[in-house]
């Protein structure tokens, strides 16, 4: 029995047939569309943040939400950090889309594996943020209840 290195062996011994390939291709197309929409949204947030600046954000908080007055700088930089993280996450989704489409077109198992690896990281990071969000909300409910 001839053993192939792990990089050359098909994933779980499965081959991608025409129907599976077309489903991967469609998923990659949607992932690319969603990534581009998210990139546009991130760009709009960044442009508005740069136009407003920390001082503009501070004056908005002073007028609209007085309880957050004096924290405009902190919120400004926190939003910029979140946008940087979300840009990385969206790049992972975009890389999944482009690598998967290339893999299906060229019948390259290595590209497909790399594309799915990017999708795994994308969902892993979103899962961590979801867990953190749930913990934060539960903690907020507990502290406001007592």
Q: What is the pLDDT of residues 13-61, one digit of tens each?
A: 556 777 888 898 999 999 999 999 999 999 999 998 888 877 777 777 7
Position 2 scores a pLDDT of: 46
Closest CA to 46 of 8, 99, 84: 84
92 in Cβ contact with 122 (< 8 Å): yes
Q: Per-residue confidence at 7, pLDDT binned at 50, 70, 90?
A: low
Could you tell me the CA-to-CA distances from 111 to 3, 9, 16, 117, 124 in Å, in that order? Answer: 21, 13, 13, 10, 20
Q: What does the alpha-carbon distance between residue 134 and residue 7 come to, in Å, rounded to a whole number? A: 38
pTM: 0.78
The token pair that represents 89 in the structure block: 């996450």
Closest CA to 115 of 97, 89, 90, 138: 97
Reported as a single tens digit per residue, the pLDDT across 59-92 is 777 777 777 777 778 888 888 999 999 999 999 9
Between residues 10 and 116, the one the model is more confident about? 116
| Mean per-residue pLDDT over the chain, rounded | 85
């Amino acid at each position: 029995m001839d053993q192939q290195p792990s990089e050359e062996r098909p994933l779980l011994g499965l081959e991608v047939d025409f129907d599976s390939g077309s489903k991967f291709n469609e998923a990659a197309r949607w992932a690319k569309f969603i990534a581009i929409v998210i990139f546009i949204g991130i760009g709009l947030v960044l442009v508005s943040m740069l136009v407003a600046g920390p001082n503009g954000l501070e004056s908005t908080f002073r007028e609209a939400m007085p309880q957050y007055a004096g924290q405009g700088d902190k919120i400004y930089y926190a939003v910029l950090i979140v946008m940087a993280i979300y840009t990385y996450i969206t790049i992972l989704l975009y890389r999944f889309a482009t690598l998967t489409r290339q893999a299906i077109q060229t019948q390259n198992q290595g590209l497909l594996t790399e594309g799915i690896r990017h999708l795994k990281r994308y969902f892993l990071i979103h899962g961590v943020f979801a867990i953190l969000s749930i913990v934060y909300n539960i903690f907020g409910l507990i502290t406001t209840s007592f």
